[in-house]
Amino acid sequence: MTQTSDNVTWLTQEAYNQLKAELEYLSGPARTEIAAKIAEAREEGDLRENGGYHAAKEEQGKQELRVRQLTQMLESAKVGEAPADDGVVEPGMVVTIAFDGDVDDTLTFLLASREYASEGTTTYSPQSPLGQGVSGKKVGEEAQYELPNGKMAMVKILEAKPYQG
């Protein structure tokens, strides 16, 4: 899991290894593949009307942006352990909250960087208003955070468990 604090990104060893592997792939084999696609498309003729060429160049741009993001994240990474199972909300925890204390109106989410968003798991960043509001709170405590309309919302922490991936 990650937690960004100033320019430091906290990662578990597993998360660090996954991001490092992605960076190695994008920096090596993926660069070779996209260069080949661009060369192939270039051979088709007029570049102004060549959709394959423009698509490959756009893909290359996105890939290079991701390489820069990963490089920056890994350079500032501090590798540590997964959070303790102590009921305190922190990045790397799956948190269940009740809105306005109503146990029928709940939300369960992973408090982590978007890097860990996966299908079937709602993910909130520790920097989001909700993430900031619940961080550091314990099970049973209430937390307040600002809604997009400027009003404040109250939630109660029902559960906080380490993410099992």
Which residue segments constitute the domains of the chain, with CATH numbers given?
2-80 (1.10.287.180), 93-162 (3.10.50.30)
Q: Which residue has the higher pLDDT, 30 or 165?
A: 30
SS3 per-residue string spanning the chain? CEEEECCEEEEEHHHHHHHHHHHHHHHCHHHHHHHHHHHHHHCCCCHHHCHHHHHHHHHHHHHHHHHHHHHHHHHCEEEECCCCCCCECCCCEEEEEEECCCCCCEEEEEECCHHHCECCECEECCCCHHHHHHCCCECCCEEEEECCCCCEEEEEEEEEEECCC
pLDDT confidence tier of residue 23, bands split at 50, 70 and 90: very high
Mean pLDDT of 8-24: 80
Q: Look at residue 154 and tell me whether its pLDDT is greater than 90.
A: yes
Residue 83: band (very low, low, confident or very high) from pLDDT cuts 50, 70, 90: confident
